[in-house]
Amino acid sequence: TGHITLDLGYKNTGSTKSAITFLDGEKGILKYRGYSIEELAEKSTFLEVAFLLIYGDLPTTKALEDFQSQITKHTLIHEDMKKFLDGYPSKSHPMAQLASLVCSLSTFYPESLKANSSPETMDLTMIKLLAKFPTIVSFIYKKSLGHPLIYPKNKYDYVSNYLNMTFGQRTEEVEIDPVVVKAMNTLLILHADHEQNCSASTVRMVGSSDCNLYASVSAGIDALWGPLHGGANQAVIEMLELIKEDGGDTEKWINKAKDKNDPFRMMGFGHRVYKNFDPRAKIIKKACDDILEKLGINDPVLEIAKKLEEAALSDPYFVERKLYPNVDFYSGIIYRALGFPTDMFTVLFALGRLPGWIAQWKEMHENKEPIGRPRQVYVGHTNRAFVEIEKR
């Protein structure tokens, strides 16, 4: 079998050639299909970016209309899916519900099992997943409140439809604030892809066995859930709340993060690839100030977050290790201002990351990549003679 190179955590191992997202961690540059994240976040919509990631180019007006109308045809989920929803305990974590509901789409839409067979079925499955995902996400939220579900409405664009299913009511028409629509578009765009991160690699790995898209993305949702990955956005707010309740002594918590005998880590800080400012965090920090001001919200944890950032950026521990705020550091403060509960934050990350997962899965198939199957360095026993149970 020859020589095996060990690279725990794949710190220096490329798993694929990809044309989707470019990331320069030293300089803090992020581009989707060659377009800078700063420009996309400012000028584009989430659906446009989804098209860009999946199909490779920005859509024309006509292509975007077609994309939107294809999606609109598939936004409902099978009514029987609601039985799963009813079965979950009401306080169960939304990420667990999301992963299992997305996986169960493959039972209701079995053509997905052959999605790899032709470009048309592959395309239909991608469209269905994009269409049904916001419906599932908002149903999970409504169920957590014990409120009636709001069905998708064709008159809305992708993001507004999601917001209406989340914050709308059955009894009356609720106006969707354009500030909220813009903020959601920006956040979802910033989360839309991030090359071969833990969840995208999972989607590609699971998909490489020719497993269907729904199951592959469901596995990606699980990978995202952990606090070292997407779960960090929930962990950040919980940390900021804890620091606030503890009296707001940021220095004490910075020291805890530096202490190697203390398991506490500064959540929302550090990144495997960025050794400079995470460009997404820069945009989100600014958006955070703007949105809270526009919505007239004063959140005391924002002050704590800024104090922590300032202290960390001038502390030798963080400077030497090049630890900067990442995408999750300020995003939760915006989600909270928009009215989302903390345990929905990682679900919102998943909603944003969906086009990236789909694009990665599609590219993996188009490249005809072989099944993912890493090797190991065996360090266990060599030969042991079997001992009968009564003699052990």
Site residues for ligand CMC per CB under 6 A: 9, 197, 228-230, 232, 257, 265-272, 321, 323, 326-328
Catalytic sites, residue numbers: 271, 328
CA angle 337–178–180, rounded 5-degree value: 20
The answer to whether the beta carbons of residues 54 and 126 sit under 8 Å apart is yes
With respect to ligand CMC, which residue has the nearer C-beta, 286 or 321?
A: 321
What six digits make up the tokens of 216?
A: 């592959």
Q: Which residues of 334-371 are buried (b: 16+ CB within 10 A; e: fewer)?
A: bbbbbebebbbbbbbbbbbbbbbbbbbbbbbbeeeeee
CB of 194 to ligand CMC, least distance (A): 7
**Shortest Cβ 4–ligand CMC spacing (Å):** 21
Check: CB of residue 269 under 8 Å from CB of residue 311: no
The encoded tokens of residue 8 equal 């725990």
Q: Which of 215/254 has CB closer to ligand CMC?
A: 254
Residue whose CB is nearest to ligand CMC in the complex, by number? 270
Nearer to ligand CMC, 126 or 267 (CB): 267
Q: Nearest distance from residue 381's CB to ligand CMC, in Å?
A: 30
How many angstroms separate the CA atoms of 386 and 392, rounded? 10
In DSSP notation, 77-120 reads --TTHHHHHHHS-TTS-HHHHHHHHHHHHHHH-GGGGGTTT-HH
The least CB distance from residue 376 to ligand CMC, in Å, is 19
Between residues 150 and 192, which has the closer beta carbon with respect to ligand CMC?
192
Whichever of 59 and 270 has its CB closer to ligand CMC, that residue is 270
Token look-up 């915006």 returns 334
Shortest Å distance, C-beta 197 to ligand CMC = 5
Name the token pair of 240: 């900021």
In sequence order, the 6+-apart residues with CB closer than 8 A to the CB of 314 are none
Shortest separation between residue 224's beta carbon and ligand CMC, angstroms: 7
- Enumerate the β-bridge partners of residue 329: none
Question: Helix, strand, coil: what percent of the chain each, to 5?
Answer: 60, 5, 40
User: Would you say 280 or 336 has its CB closer to ligand CMC?
Assistant: 280
- To ligand CMC, the closest distance from the beta carbon of 336 in angstroms equals 17
Cβ of 106: how many Cβ atoms within 10 Å?
A: 20
Nearer to ligand CMC, 152 or 231 (CB): 231
Classify residue 74 by burial, with Cβ atoms within 10 Å: 0-12, 13-18, 19+.
middle
Give SS3 for 377. Answer: coil
How many CA atoms are closer than 13 Å to the CA of 333, on its beta-carbon side? 28
Indicate the DSSP class of residue 321: T
C-alpha 236: how far from chain center:
15
